[in-house]
């Protein structure tokens, strides 16, 4: 099984560049875990701050969910919004895989929460899908963690978010692969809590020194992680050397 996790940056690096990336990998990848996916514009939010920059619909793939899922027609798409109905997470699972169940759980605020001020401080959820494999079921989780405009260190909200993640993990009986943009530095207590739940931090284990591309010009080169249960047989894990976002794609192959 091969997985790519990518924060698409809303397509700001260029729609054709991003779609070409998916076209190149669709014959190889079984599951795409995507963050910052739009399904429609928020006209009332044009020009307002979101994640430290203003929303400019001309820069964004506002129908990214439809355009990506149309290109990846051999995959079943699962879209779970974080803010209102049109922005959030998308999992694409190759149609020849057997889906046991799928869903979401909110770990910061609640579904429908609308923040005051910067829209980037919206609610956060995990979307998940349980898949039957020849070695038994496995659960793949997709996540985009809390942004607060104050860097990627610990905060009370992030610690609570991690506690809720750990609580959810404790209820899953299958091996787990947990992907996404966690918005956390490697040395945070918030990230350590997740590792201490029994998952391997593959970014740390493989000595990855950055998960950002040259399009990201701020200090700090960590944001994206993949965690895996000990039972998951990792065959390959790496950062793909492409610039289709300010985040680098994470590639994982498991037995």
SS3 75: strand
73-99: average pLDDT: 98
- pLDDT confidence of residue 174: 98
Residue 218 DSSP one-character state? S
CA-nearest of 91, 75, 62 to 23 is: 75
Q: What is the pLDDT of residues 12-68, one digit of tens each?
A: 999 999 999 999 999 999 999 999 999 999 999 999 999 999 999 999 999 999 999
136-150: average pLDDT: 97
- pLDDT confidence of residue 220: 87
- The answer to whether 67 and 54 have CB atoms below 8 angstroms apart is no
CA-nearest of 22, 6, 38, 9 to 216 is: 9
Domains identified in the chain, total number: 1
Any idea what the CATH number is for the domain that residue 85 is in? Answer: 3.60.10.10
118-146: average pLDDT: 97
Q: What is the mean pLDDT of the chain?
A: 97
Q: Which residues contact 22 (CB under 8 A, 6 or more apart)?
A: 32, 68, 71, 72
- pLDDT confidence of residue 82: 97
Cα–Cα distance, 223 to 213 (Å, whole number): 11
Between the alpha carbon of residue 115 and those of residues 45, 110, 120, 165, the distances in Å are 12, 11, 8, 21
Q: Which residues contact 186 (CB under 8 A, 6 or more apart)?
A: 201, 203, 204, 222
**Structure pTM?**
0.98
- The answer to whether 48 and 56 have CB atoms below 8 angstroms apart is no
pLDDT interval class at 167 (50, 70, 90) = very high
223-245: average pLDDT: 97
The domain in which residue 88 lies consists of: 2-254
Q: What is the pLDDT of residues 191-222, one digit of tens each?
A: 999 999 999 999 999 999 999 999 999 988 99
pLDDT interval class at 157 (50, 70, 90) = very high
């Amino acid at each position: 099984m091969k997985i790519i996790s990518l924060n698409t940056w809303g397509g700001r690096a260029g729609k054709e560049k991003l779609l070409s990336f998916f076209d190149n990998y669709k014959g190889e990848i079984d599951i795409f875990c995507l963050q910052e996916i739009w399904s429609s514009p928020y006209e009332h939010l044009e020009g307002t701050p979101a994640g430290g920059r203003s929303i400019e619909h001309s820069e964004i793939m506002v129908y990214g969910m439809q355009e990506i899922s149309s290109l990846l027609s051999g995959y079943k798409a699962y879209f779970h919004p974080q803010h209102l109905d049109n922005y959030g997470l998308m999992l694409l699972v190759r149609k020849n895989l057997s889906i046991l169940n799928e869903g979401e759980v909110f770990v910061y605020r609640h579904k429908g929460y609308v923040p005051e001020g910067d829209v980037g401080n919206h609610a956060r959820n995990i979307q998940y899908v349980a898949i039957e494999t020849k070695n038994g079921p496995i659960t793949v989780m997709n996540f985009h963690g809390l942004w607060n405009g104050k860097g990627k260190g610990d905060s009370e909200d992030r610690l609570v978010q991690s506690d809720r993640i750990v609580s959810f993990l404790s209820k899953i009986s299958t091996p787990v692969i947990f992907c996404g943009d966690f918005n956390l530095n490697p040395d945070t207590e918030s990230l350590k809590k997740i590792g201490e739940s029994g998952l391997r931090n593959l970014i740390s284990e493989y000595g990855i020194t950055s998960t950002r591309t040259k399009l990201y010009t701020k200090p700090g080169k960590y944001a994206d992680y993949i965690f895996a249960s000990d039972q998951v047989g990792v065959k390959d894990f790496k950062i793909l050397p492409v610039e289709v976002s300010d985040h680098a794609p994470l590639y994982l192959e498991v037995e």
